[in-house]
């Protein structure tokens, strides 16, 4: 049974890493699931404190993942139109992989701002804010997933 848990755990780690760039997959929760599966084997036992801290990190990252692009739009001078456009652009971008994931939030915020009556320069600023927010969220997710993968491998090597 341990071998099965380890194999499924590795699959969770790989899928979770993909989830860092594919918004449809919850990257950090999947990698955390891989760590949990490893914990339930006889090979490795993480402490309850470790598991709870890691769970807290996953929850915070998941919340930030949705807020950071919207905050990027807002703090770069975007309006509600730009924020909503960013959200719609992110969803539409999923259908145009892989570049749609990057261009979707930018184009959504830009078009949203134009539809809201903003000038082109202000709309571009809002679009770049959403893009930077999206990229920051992706980097944070990759960092957390990379750390979880490192913990998984290090625990197996002991």
Mean pLDDT, the chain, integer: 87
What are the sequence ranges of the domains in the chain? 2-157
Token pair listed for 56: 């807290």
pTM over 0.85: no
Give the number of other Cβ atoms within 10 Å of residue 83's Cβ.
23
What does the pLDDT look like over 50-83, one tens digit per residue?
A: 999 999 999 999 888 877 877 787 777 778 888 8
Rg value, the chain, Cα = 18
Query: Which pLDDT belongs to residue 89?
Result: 86
């Amino acid at each position: 049974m341990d071998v099965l848990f380890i194999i499924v755990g590795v699959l969770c780690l790989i899928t979770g890493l993909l989830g860092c760039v594919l918004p449809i997959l919850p990257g950090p929760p999947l990698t955390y699931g891989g760590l949990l599966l490893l914990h339930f084997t006889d090979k490795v036992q993480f402490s309850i404190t470790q598991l709870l801290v890691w769970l807290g990190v996953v929850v915070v990252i998941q919340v930030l993942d949705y807020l950071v692009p919207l905050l990027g739009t807002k703090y770069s001078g975007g309006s509600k139109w730009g924020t909503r456009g960013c959200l719609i652009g992110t969803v539409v971008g999923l259908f145009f992989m892989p570049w749609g994931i990057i261009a979707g939030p930018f184009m959504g915020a830009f078009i949203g701002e134009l539809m809201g009556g903003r000038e082109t320069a202000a709309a571009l600023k809002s679009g770049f804010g959403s893009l930077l927010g999206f990229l920051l969220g992706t980097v944070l997710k990759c960092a957390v997933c990379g750390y979880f993968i490192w913990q998984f491998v290090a625990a197996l090597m002991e």
